[in-house]
Amino acid sequence: MRAFATADQLAGVVAEVFGTDRRIVTIERLPNGSKKGVYRLGLDDATTTIVYIWDPAEDYWSDVQDTDRADRADTFSHASGLDMFEAAVNRLESVGARGPRLLFADRSRAWYPADIAVIEDLRGGTLQALLEKDPDAGREPLADLAGMLRRMHGYPAPRFGQVFAVDRGLAVNGESGARVILDRALADVEEAAERDGRVRAGRSTLTDALRDLASRVTAPARVGLIHGELGADHVMLADDGAPVLIDVEGLAYFDIEWEHVFVRMRFGEHYAPLRREDLDPDRMRLFQLAMHVSLIAGPLRIGSGDHPQAAWFRDLAALHVREAFNFVAKEAAG
């Protein structure tokens, strides 16, 4: 049974950040992620704030993979933790992009028995919700997001890897982004084959297609700053309507095509303002299939645990099984 934070446990945090005359009147655990606890606190002056908690009890991946030994030399290792969050928001600010405003961070365990951060509460909702409700109203923040992505993707990254690792001069594994993606995708196929019969039956079809697509990638990589999982649900709107990126711990320096494959998929009909015409088509094809495979293996993994949306993750994996084989068939047909 997972134990989540209570108002009594967070009272000292509120006193430290906002003063001893403030108290919590409401606490809500938000379904914002699977790697950390996200809580909205309502205070007695009618204001609200958000608390992030990085605790194994809050991390639904901890029961389905070894999160304690995440290898920071691996660009796609488990992206969670206060250190990674701080590195990400600092780098975003430095390139003129906007992440959540950090009000307080603590690793001492003096106020709570885990690393915590207090951040601004962004009450404008997600860009996804706005685009679904009123696409016309979403045009301006979407245009602002496009500008933000151009600045991020144009950042002269020193090399690929997690921002946390590269900015600290730590070693990063892999000879190139394309090779990292290929190796990861091949491993994802093997893992998914253990849980899904169709992947098991079509394992060689997927691995052969991945290797063939990788062999066609010859253009030099353009490495920029990427979010890594940038859907419209990971863009919140500030009070002034400006877009703010959330779930930023996985921020990395990487081939910008990897970002665009995900953004194109998640933004769908709203992708046009974010589109770039100078992306490498060979990388896009390799990364597209690799993305489908990743969205089979990862959701099957977490769907095997006790996440409250486990069934949704399994359905997502099933969708991408179909998408992966359809993609291979279309490639084979020319």
| Run of H or E including 49 | strand 48-54
Query: How do residues 241-268 score in pLDDT, each as one tens digit?
Result: 999 999 999 999 999 999 999 999 999 9
CATH architecture type of domain 127-333: Alpha-Beta Complex (3.90)
What kind of fold does domain 7-119 have according to CATH? Phosphorylase Kinase; domain 1 (3.30.200)
Query: How do residues 18-72 score in pLDDT, each as one tens digit?
Result: 999 999 999 999 986 688 999 999 999 999 999 999 998 888 766 665 545 567 7
State residue 15's pLDDT score.
95
Sheet holding 48-54, edge to edge: 24-29, 37-43, 48-54, 115-119, 102-106
Domain with CATH 3.30.200.20 in the chain: 7-119
Strands 235-237 and 243-245: antiparallel
Domain with CATH 3.90.1200.10 in the chain: 127-333
State residue 308's pLDDT score.
80
